[in-house]
Amino acid sequence: MERNAPGDAIHLAPRRVAEATRAPAPVRAARHGRRGSLVDRRRRSGMLLTLPALLTLAATALYPLLWTMSLSFQSFSLAVGGEEPAFAGLANYERVLGDAAFWTAIGQTVGYVTVTLTVELLVGLPIALVLHRETRGRKVLRLVVALPLMIAPVVAAMAGKFLFSPGYGLVNEGLAALGIDGPAWFADPWLARAAVLSTNAWLALPFVVLVLLAGLANIPGELREAAVTDGAGRWRILWHITLPLLRPSILIILVIRLADAFRVFDAVYVMTGGGPGSATEVLSTYLYRQMFTRTDFAGGAATSVLFVLVIGICAGAVFLSLRGRRGER
C-alpha cells in the first residue's frame, strides 16, 4: 500500500489532477449553467415583484418631483385663459431667494430641526435605557410611551394650544400650583418656539424610544458583563459600549426624524400661525402661504425644490458623517 506523505492530498501528481478535474468537468459546467439561470430567473422574478412598487413610487414621488422642478422654471398664470406657461429661467428662484421671509423661515427651520433632534435624543435615550432594564411594569410603561404615536399631529397641536393657553391651560395651572406665575407662551417668540417644539417632540419621542430600544436589545450582554468584570462604571459602559453600539439606531433616527422635522407644519399652523410676528414661521408654513395665499405656484415650486435640496444636503451630511465614523472603528 502506497503511503502518502503529509501534503499529498494537496500536492497531487499532475496526471491525477488532470483526471480529477477532467472527469467532473461537464457536470460542473452544467451546474454553473443551472445556477446562472436560476440566479437570472430569481433576479427577473424579483424585479417583476418589485416593479409595481417601483412604478407606484415613480408615479407618486418621482413624477411629482420632476413636475415640480419643471414648474419651478416656468412662468404661467392660474387664471382661466391666462398666460400660457413659458420658460422663465431662474426668475422664480431669484424671487424666492430675494425674499427676506424665505431666509427667516429657512433659518428658523434649521434651528428648529437642530434643537428638536437634540432634545428628542437627550430625552429619548434615558427613557429607552430605563425601559430596557428588567423592571416591574416595563411593558405597561412601554405602552404608555408609545401612546402619542396613535395621535394625529393636528389633534396634538390643538391639545398643545389649549395646554399652553395662558388663561386656562394646564401648563400654567401646574406652574401656579408650584407658586410660579405662568407666562403668556404664545406672546413671546422664544416661549412660542418652545411650546411648538415640545408638542412636536412629545409626538416624536415614541419613535425615538422604540428605535433605541431595538438597538439596545441588539447589544450583546457579554460586553457589559466583561466591562463590569474589568471594573468599568455605569458612565464608562454607557460612553464606551452602549453609545457606540447604538450608533446605527441613532443614524436611523437622525435621518428619518430630520426629514420629518423639516416638514413640521401642523403644530406651527394650529398653535401660532407662524407668530408672534414671524417668530415661528418655518419653511412649510412659508410654502403654504406662498402657494395658497399668494397663489404663487411657480415660486412655490422653486421653494419646494430648494426645500428638497436643503433636506437632502442635511440628511446626506448626517448619514455620511455617522457612517464614516462607523467605518473607522
Partner 1 sequence: MGMEAGSPHESFYKEKAEQFTAETGIGVEILGVPHDNMHQQFLSDAVAAGGAHDVLMVDQPWVAEFAANGYLASLDERLSDEDRDDFIEGTLDTVSYEGAVYGLPFLVHNQVMYYRPSLLEAAGYDSPPATWEQYREIAAATTDAAAGTFGTMIPGNRDGEVATRFMSYVQQAGGDIVDENLRPAIENDAALEAFAMMQQIQFEDGSSPEGLHDLSAIQGQFLEGKIAMVAQWPYMWAMATDPEQSKVVDDVAVALDPGNPDQVATTFAWGLGVSASSDDQDAAWEFVHWATSGEVLAAKAIEQLSPVPRVSSMEALAAAEEVSEADRAALAVFGESVARSRTMPMTPAFPQYQTAIAEAVSAVMSGQATPEAALRQAQSQMEQAAG
Binding site for partner 1 (CB under 8 A): 78-82, 165-167, 183-189, 272-279, 289, 292-295, 297
Our CB check for partner 1 shows the closer of 242 and 285 to be 285
Q: Please give the grid coordinates belonging to residue 174.
A: 401646574
Whether the Cβ atoms of residue 93 and residue 68 lie closer than 8 Å to each other: no
Alpha-carbon distance of 312 to 323, in angstroms, equals: 16
Whether the Cβ atoms of residue 74 and residue 296 lie closer than 8 Å to each other: no
Q: Please give the grid coordinates belonging to residue 126.
A: 434615558
Give the type of residue at 204.
A
Alpha-carbon distance of 156 to 271, in angstroms, equals: 10
Peptide bond into 276 cis (omega under 30): yes
Our CB check for partner 1 shows the closer of 23 and 187 to be 187
Least distance (Å) between residue 271 CB and partner 1: 10
Alpha-carbon distance of 204 to 308, in angstroms, equals: 21
Least distance (Å) between residue 119 CB and partner 1: 24
Our CB check for partner 1 shows the closer of 93 and 286 to be 286
SS3 87: strand
Least distance (Å) between residue 300 CB and partner 1: 12
Least distance (Å) between residue 62 CB and partner 1: 21
Least distance (Å) between residue 295 CB and partner 1: 7
Least distance (Å) between residue 124 CB and partner 1: 31
Least distance (Å) between residue 279 CB and partner 1: 7
Phi-psi region of 231 (alpha: psi -120 to 50; beta: other; left: phi over 0): left
Give the residue carrying C-alpha cell 414661521. 281
Our CB check for partner 1 shows the closer of 148 and 183 to be 183
Least distance (Å) between residue 184 CB and partner 1: 4
Whether the Cβ atoms of residue 134 and residue 176 lie closer than 8 Å to each other: no
Our CB check for partner 1 shows the closer of 165 and 198 to be 165
Our CB check for partner 1 shows the closer of 91 and 245 to be 91
Our CB check for partner 1 shows the closer of 163 and 250 to be 163
Alpha-carbon distance of 24 to 308, in angstroms, equals: 58
Cβ within 8 Å of residue 147, ≥6 positions away: 206
Our CB check for partner 1 shows the closer of 75 and 278 to be 278
Whether the Cβ atoms of residue 289 and residue 59 lie closer than 8 Å to each other: no
Cβ within 8 Å of residue 199, ≥6 positions away: 156, 157, 159, 160, 163, 267, 271
